[in-house]
Structure 1
């Protein structure tokens, strides 16, 4: 929940006294690890809950705030919210150099529909040269079908055994293990991923699949810890672009951290020159 969304949300709920500045927002985001419900809980614990609100109603109240936030976000996003400076030139340069560009909208906090409406501002000509991956594309991908069960016609063990036989390369072996983990099949790897992280991993896998490039040869350009965490889980190189809300956040697993596109910051030339480990 950004400051702009907060202004609209709190105003609609009659919480005129509620206010958070950029430093307060950054602190709440850091302490809550980006979890919006936790962020609001921490915030109202700090300033005090509405006096008429029973203790047992705190959770429903937070959910109502988040519903209003979603509505406020739609209002904000559907207006002329500008794209990040330099992103058009960055995409154009990638296309000129023959580098596939995949834009992931499926794990956007703003929602697939709203994220796509923002992407549309890139223009028809530019969009014709790139791929936009949303919920539908993820579900139709091989990885998405296996993870979310859309194409399961046999038992999980049989399906996984079939995939294991097809896993001739190291990349496919990794996919088989990840699928097994998410499906709770007995494989000796971490199965503690949250639902949101699983969706992020599925989106990243679908993007790489559609681009026809192994995940370790792709580079995720992210602005959130959740995206970085998903890429780290599948060994995809990741570059963080800071924003005003993440200027103080730490991204220890990122391969690089930059402030924006172009100039001294992120360019296609720098991505091509960098040796990713």
Structure 2
């Protein structure tokens, strides 16, 4: 839709193309667009020094299209989600829906809440940007509300420890593959944001991180959960159908029935 809005009739991302760009660009949208237009050719009227602003204009139109779609009520809940949440309520298991690290997270949250219905909200906590920022862990990491020099130093130590852990994991993987690796730990802001969101979610439901379970949809969620010792299961999508998630407790295809239920979730965590 963004391509069409900008008059780029030659540009089109069917799912196989998108999946390939997602893998090659490591989910970085600007890199994905760069790879794509390097392959099919940039608009002939575009000066070389304006490629960056052109990419940003495409992403801006994409964001507008996503927001319109989310607010159009055309996006259904995934099959079985309502039953899963009802099952959790019956089993007295609190549910947190973490939207803070999603693009257009606030609009996703509004859409999800509306689709779930008021009767289910008593057992569901939606964790958006404001909830993360207001959580004790969020205030600590982001430095908001921190006044004493001791607390400021603690914030620095938390960030330093997170960077060290990322480097350790990268070196461990590299050793297994017999490669050398030197990652820029300052560039993984997305992973940090997910970690903070998961800790905030645990805080809001009143449980230790190790007693929570993340139902993840991507590798970034799995990696963040592993960093903080939160068990997780992966819910496959068409984009992750062939993915492998060795640190996850299980990989499921859907909610309810033969797939993910609260009893099955408990069984996978114990096994």
**Shorter-chain TM-score above 0.5:** yes
Asked if residue 181 in structure 1 is aligned to residue 158 in structure 2, the reply is yes
Q: Do the aligned residues in 2 keep the contact of 1:37 with 1:62 (CA within 8 Å)?
A: yes
The Cα offsets for residues 65-105 of structure 1, whole Å up to 9 and x where unpaired, read as 00000000011111221000000000000110001101111
TM-score for both structures, normalised by structure 2: 0.86
Match status 1:45 vs 2:38: yes
1:125-136 superposed matches below 5 A: 125-136=119-130
Is 1:225–2:219 an aligned residue pair? yes
The change in CA–CA distance for 1:224 and 1:110 in structure 2 (over 3 A counts) is: farther
Task: List alignment gaps of at least 5 residues for structure 1.
Answer: 1-7, 162-175
How many residue pairs are counted as aligned between the two chains? 252
CA offset at residue 36 of structure 1? 1.2
The counterpart of 1:271, out of the listed 258, 265, 269, is 265
Q: Which region of structure 1 is more displaced relative to structure 2, 64-73 or 37-46? A: 37-46
The Cα offsets for residues 181-208 of structure 1, whole Å up to 9 and x where unpaired, read as 31x4899654726222111111100010
What root-mean-square deviation, in Å, do the aligned CA atoms of Structure 1 and Structure 2 show? 2.2
CA contact (8 A) 1:94 1:100 kept: yes
Structure 1 residues 29 and 252, CA, compared in 2 at 3 Å: closer, same or farther? farther
CA distance in 2, matches of 1:188, 1:106: 24
- Residues 217, 234 of structure 2: 8 Å contact kept: yes
- Higher fraction of helix: 2
State how far apart, in whole Å, the 2-side matches of 1:72 and 1:257 are: 31
**Structure 2: where are the runs of 5+ without partners?**
168-184
CA distance in 2, matches of 1:186, 1:231: 13
1-structure distance, mates of 2:19, 2:253: 16
Which secondary structure does the structure 2 equivalent of 1:128 belong to? Answer: helix
Q: Are 2:3 and 1:26 equivalent residues in the alignment?
A: no
- Provide the C-alpha distance between the structure 2 equivalents of 1:111 and 1:257, rounded to a whole number of angstroms: 24
Q: 3-state DSSP class of the match of 1:221?
A: strand
Q: How do residues 1-277 of structure 1 correspond to structure 2 at under 5 angstroms?
A: 8-79=1-72, 80-155=74-149, 158-159=150-151, 180-182=157-159, 184=160, 189-190=165-166, 192=185, 194-276=188-270
